Amino acid sequence: MPERQRKTIHHLLAEARSGLDRVAPAELAGLMEAGSSPEGERLRVIDVRPHEDRERTGIIEGSEHIGLLVLQWRLDPDSGASQGTAAGLDDRVVVVCNQGYSSSLAAGQLQQMGFVRATDLDGGVEGWIEAGLPVVPPLRA
């Protein structure tokens, strides 16, 4: 039987991040204030954290919530499951999680799906807060 090559989570994370132009908290704050990236792409900041984490630490105002487990389905215009949340392949999509690990993996997958400007927030919401940037309570459904 041929020997299988195993990739650890650290390998997968390094691979994902090698293709990302990760965004620092202050840079993302500036992009959000401008409403688009310097190249003119539509900016989408997507918080993939579970409800409990969003309640505990707050959210980045202007971000939208799409759960990590359905992110790729909701953004892919060809999935049949986008429910009005599909992204354009040229949109600047910035994925946000707690610390910037899950978001890196998700952004790497989005790039593989053709979202060439997908990336993530370096340090996640925790990095955002450490940079002194504001969070707000999530809206109640």
Read off the pLDDT of residues 26-39 as tens digits, 9 standing for 90 and up: 999 999 998 765 66
> How confident is the prediction for the chain on average, in pLDDT?
91
Q: What is the pTM of this model?
A: 0.89
Which tokens is 118 given? 């997908």
Query: Would you state the pLDDT for residue 138?
Result: 82
Ranges under pLDDT 70 in the chain:
36-40, 140-141
- Helical segments of 1-141, H only: 9-18, 25-34, 51-57, 71-75, 102-112, 124-130
Query: Would you state the pLDDT for residue 57?
Result: 94
Query: Would you state the pLDDT for residue 38?
Result: 61
